Amino acid sequence: MSATTFDLATLDFDAIARRNDQARTQRILLFAITAILALAWVTPFYYLAISIFKSNAEYGLGNPLALPTSITPVFENIAEAWSKAKMGSGMLNSLLYGLVGGGAAIFIAALASYGLTRIEFPGKGFWFMLIFSGTIFPLQMYLIPLFMGYNKLGMTNSRIGMMLFYTAVCIPFPVLVLRNYMAGLPREMDEAARIDGCSEFRIFRSIILPNCWAPMATLFLIQFTWIWNDLIFSMVLTSREDARSLMNGLMVLQGSYANTTPNVVMTATLLASLPSVALFLLLRKHFMNGLKLQSL
């Protein structure tokens, strides 16, 4: 491919043009296939989005994909969904569980990862495996003992009980990630402080932690979304409306009104999903980074 032997006369311009055309049609074809697939993918969302604008009577008529005739029924739908599914308290509870559970879990995981990467002591491998073993059992193995234990201690239907459990279940995965991340931070950063007589907690708080905000924020997003979207633990550990999570409320609403007021159930579904979807659309980069963490 040396340029010195290049001879313009030997170039077949028609062939090059044909190849370019071919590449272009191929590109357009691939784009078209992707676009059609994407369209199919968003159809259920489109359906969700238009259904919330339909009154019960309008929903029952005709084509499910038809545009709504007016947008005013949405206010009535929201009001009805809000009161029937007790979405006010549900949202507050889910927010509380997600913020406290996710936040506490990641702070505790950061503490443990500091101990695992910065302090030399025997038996570290054992303690790490103990924490890590919290990821290998299917969640079904926790349900009965938790329910019984909480029942004995009077902790069912308690917000504290829910936050404690969500904290625990969200600890192991961040330990795995933060341990790898902290192990990659240069030792010199904290060695100097240690020689100067800084306490370990001080080093953790003012040297290591400030360098871990990026993975911690990403991990928090992952765990917050998990807690927000969880159904089964709220089903097992809460039965009263004042402690149950938003998804539990949605499930109960669907159970009783799925066939009588579909428009209201759809509205509740959209409202319940809006927070996590908005988080994703705003912080897409962090979510994608989180997936990189997961694939390590």
Partner 1 sequence: MTQHRQAFALPPGAPSIDQMIAAERRRARKRLWTGLAFMAPAIAFVAIFLLLPVVFNLYASLTQWAKFSGLNQFAGLANYQRLASSPKFFDATLNTMIWVAVSFVLPATIGLSLAMLLRGVKGEETFKSIFFLPRMFSATAVGVIWYYVYAGDGIVNSGLRAIGLGDLASRWLYESHLATPAMIVTHIWQQVGLMMVLLLIGLNALPSEPMEAAKVDGASRSQIFRHIVLPLLMPTLIMVTTVSVLAGFTSFDLVWVMGRDFPNRSTLTLSVNQYWESFRAGSWAYGAAIAVVLGIIAMSISWSLGALQHRLDKR
Contacts of 190 (CB under 8 A, 6+ apart): 118, 203, 207, 208
CB of 9 to partner 1, least distance (A): 25
Does 13 contact partner 1 by CB under 8 A? no
Complex with partner 1: residue 216 or 247, whichever CB lies closer: 247
Q: Is 175 in the site for partner 1 (CB under 8 A)?
A: yes
Give the SS3 label for residue 197: coil
Q: What is the CA radius of gyration of the chain?
A: 27
Q: How far is residue 26's CA from residue 204's CA, in Å, rounded to a whole number?
A: 55
User: Does the footprint of partner 1 cover residue 183 (CB under 8 A)?
Assistant: no
Between 11 and 274, name the residue whose CB sits nearer to partner 1. Answer: 274
Task: Give the total of residues touching partner 1 (CB under 8 A).
Answer: 90
N- to C-terminal Cα distance for the chain? 40
Nearest to partner 1 of 8, 40 (CB atom): 40
Tell the smallest beta-carbon distance from residue 4 to partner 1 (Å).
20
CA distance 102 to 187: 28
> Which of 172, 173, 223, 238: binder of partner 1 (CB under 8 A)?
172
Does 90 help bind partner 1 (rule: CB under 8 A)?
no
Select 9 or 145, whichever has its Cβ closest to partner 1.
Answer: 145
- Taking CB under 8 A as the binding criterion, the range among 7-15, 68-76, 210-218, 284-292 that sits at the site for partner 1 is 284-292
**In the complex, what is the shortest distance from the CB of residue 223 to partner 1, in angstroms, rounded to a whole number?**
13
User: Contacts with partner 1 in 30-69 (CB under 8 A)?
Assistant: 30-31, 33-34, 37-38, 41-45, 47-48, 51, 63-65
Per-residue b/e over 70-108, b at no fewer than 16 CB within 10 Å? eeebbeebbebbbebbbbebbbebbbbbbebbbbbbbbb
Which of 76, 84, 115, 185 contacts partner 1 by CB under 8 A?
115
In whole angstroms, give the CA distance from residue 222 to residue 224: 6
Contact string (CB under 8 A) for partner 1, positions 188-207, x = contact: ------------x---x---
Give the CA dihedral 178, 182, 183, 188, nearest 10 degrees.
Answer: 180
CA distance 149 to 81: 34
Task: Rule CB under 8 A: say whether 83 interacts with partner 1.
Answer: no
In this structure, the number of other CB atoms found within 10 A of the CB of residue 158 comes to 17
Tell me the longest C-alpha to C-alpha distance in the chain.
91
Of the ranges 7-15, 74-82, 85-93, 144-152, which one interacts with partner 1 (CB under 8 A)?
144-152
> Which CB, 5 or 295, lies closer to partner 1?
295
